[in-house]
Amino acid sequence: MSAIVRVEKLSHRYASAWAIRDISFEINKTGVVGLLGSNGAGKSTTMNIMCGVLNQTEGEVFINGIDKRVNARLAKQQLGFLPQTPPLYTDFTVNEFLTYAADLRGMEKKTIKQAVAIAMDRTGITHFSERLIKNLSGGYRQRVGIAQAIIHRPKLVILDEPTNGLDPNQIIEARKLIKEIAIDHTVLLSSHVLSEINLLCRDIIMIEGGRIVFADSMDAFNNYVQPQSMLVTMEVIPPESELLKVPGVTKVQYLSNTQCRIYFSGSADITQVFIKESVQRNWRLKEIGLEKSLLDDVFKQLSHQSQFAR
């Protein structure tokens, strides 16, 4: 069985500068995969090549086993794309625009009416079918954009910053819709917002400086940087000078009379070391727990590693 997406050693150069270099990854199942990176990292270039907007300088892209360069038309039929700014004709009604989009996709005339109805139902815009797009809110325009991307039931749906510019309520609705679509589609979701990726994605591909610096599950991403702090609760917190005597402890942050955050380095079994010291010094330790690294910390570390590698 062919991978839904296979990208091999993809590179693209604008004038003398490489926007992306040796990008390779594979997606084999439905669900949401995050394409994460800071602004200018190479996300848009990668997506534009996959969608046929750009011709790559080097490398290959296969969509559902079809080489994009060999058979671009057939490859494009396997995917739907929503750019950061939805490509909408605002003087059309929702029904007119989706009918037009289906026709552009090369769908058979007899199937278009039903396909439009299904796409509107799935995106919750059926009640706006005869309304002009220019009279819709930003959230509903985004739904129309998603509807045009799924109308032909593609294997792959690529969404570029799909919640950008939406208000908090619209963002919640858009996320719910993306999850529903991902049940029977593969969704590649581009974003530079870590919380967005964390909420929606099961796997993640991170690009920095035009290269992949991480490709694994969301859980692996969250656990990439080892914990460097722990929360400690005691009946009475001892003086900082005493806590700093514990091997590996580098800094103490007092949170209350009974709780503090302790930063450490080096020791993989710091909790065991601290418990032992607590018993010997009669600190009356009540609770201790390592703190997971923040997503922002992971992002910064991977970004730093990418810059250092170059």
125-168 pLDDT, tens per residue? 999 999 999 999 999 999 999 999 999 999 999 999 898 888 88
Has residue 217 got a pLDDT over 50?
yes
User: Of residues 192 and 133, which shows the higher confidence score?
Assistant: 133
pLDDT classification of 219: cutoffs 50, 70, 90 = confident
CA atoms within 13 A on the CB side of 137: 10
Instruction: Indicate the average pLDDT of the chain.
Output: 89
The DSSP element (H or E) to which 278 belongs, if any, is: helix 270-281
Q: What is the DSSP string of 210-258?
A: TEEEEEEEHHHHHTSSPP-EEEEEESSPPPHHHHTTSTTEEEEEE-SSS
Paired with 263 in beta bridges are 229, 251
User: Can you read off the two tokens belonging to residue 72?
Assistant: 């671009």
The residue length of the chain stands at 310
CA 23 – CA 92 distance, rounded (Å):
39
Give 23-69 pLDDT, tens digit per residue: 999 999 999 999 988 888 899 999 999 998 899 999 999 999 999 99
Running DSSP on this structure, what letter comes out for residue 136? S
* Angle separating helix axes 109-123 and 94-104, nearest 10 degrees: 130
Has residue 268 got a pLDDT over 80?
no
| C-beta of residue 301 within 8 angstroms of C-beta of residue 225 | yes
Indicate the residue type of 297. D
pLDDT at 186: 95
CB contact set of 141 (below 8 Å; sequence gap of 6+): 86, 88, 133
| C-beta of residue 78 within 8 angstroms of C-beta of residue 64 | yes
- In the chain, the percentage of residues whose pLDDT exceeds 90 is 64
CA 97 – CA 89 distance, rounded (Å):
7
The DSSP element (H or E) to which 26 belongs, if any, is: strand 17-27
pLDDT classification of 203: cutoffs 50, 70, 90 = very high
pLDDT at 94: 98
pLDDT at 120: 96
For residues 190-212, average pLDDT: 88
Domains of the chain by start residue, with CATH: 5-218 (3.40.50.300), 229-292 (3.30.70.1560)
| C-beta of residue 27 within 8 angstroms of C-beta of residue 34 | no
pLDDT at 50: 94
Has residue 5 got a pLDDT over 70?
yes
Has residue 179 got a pLDDT over 50?
yes
233: Cα separation from own chain's centroid? 36
CA 108 – CA 52 distance, rounded (Å):
22
Highest averaged pLDDT of the listed ranges 91-100, 286-295, 296-305 = 91-100
* pTM for this predicted structure: 0.76
pLDDT at 45: 93
Query: For residue 258, which of 290, 288, 292 has the smallest C-alpha distance?
Result: 288
Has residue 267 got a pLDDT over 60?
no
Specify the 3-state DSSP secondary structure of 9.
Answer: strand
pLDDT classification of 229: cutoffs 50, 70, 90 = confident
pLDDT classification of 303: cutoffs 50, 70, 90 = low
Specify the 3-state DSSP secondary structure of 289.
Answer: strand
User: Can you read off the two tokens belonging to residue 175?
Assistant: 């996320």
pLDDT classification of 97: cutoffs 50, 70, 90 = very high
For residues 207-212, average pLDDT: 91
User: Of residues 268 and 116, which shows the higher confidence score?
Assistant: 116
Q: How deeply is 266 buried, as exposed, middle or buried, from its count of CB atoms within 10 A (0-12, 13-18, 19+)?
A: exposed
CA 269 – CA 32 distance, rounded (Å):
36
